[in-house]
Amino acid sequence: MAQGYPIYLYVAIVKKTRRFLTKPVNLIAHWAVYIEGHLYELIRNDEEAVANGKPKYDTRHPSYQEWWDLMQKQDRKPQLVDGVVGYTAREWSPDEIDNIAKQIWEYSFKSIYEGDEQNCQSFVRLLVDMIGDSNTRIHPQYPSSFDKLMQSAYRGYLWTSIGLGTAAI
């Protein structure tokens, strides 16, 4: 069987976390999958897009340059995570991968974003599971241990936010 396309992961450190942490943590970052010139990600649309009828959260697959420019505009620091995490099970087209990404969002996540469970990290893991070959699913660099760490980090973030909000009152 022919080998598919290489799969890479990118993180973009979220601006809010960079203010509170002296050393950015990839766990508290936005994650996206890169394949053949496109990034696939779960995003939160801005207020203007939502006011114009777009959903609050959605998937998208911009070209690498479009994504990079957007991350710079949002004052995020995109970084490649280590290198190839595996290969696609076949040579999926960008539209096929986008369709799979949308199905994950609509059917697995039921179009609901939850900071500690159904988030961009979980989305990345499910997308790579769906399109990756069998070796990709067990690759040591593959982010399969997000859930417990993310839940813990998100709870800490919420408690800090609540505490800071209460202290300001």
pLDDT, tens only, 98-139: 999 999 988 888 877 777 677 888 888 889 989 999 888 645
Residues present in the chain in total? 169
Q: pLDDT confidence of 17, banded at 50, 70, 90? A: low
Q: Are 89 and 4 in contact (CB under 8 A)?
A: yes
Res 88: pLDDT:
95
pTM of the complete model: 0.73
Q: Which fold has domain 6-168?
A: endopeptidase fold (from Nostoc punctiforme) (3.90.1720)
**Element spanning 135, H or E:** helix 134-137
In the 3-class helix/strand/coil scheme, how is 35-70 assigned residue by residue? ECCEEEEEEECCHHHHHCCCCCEEEECCEHHHHHHH
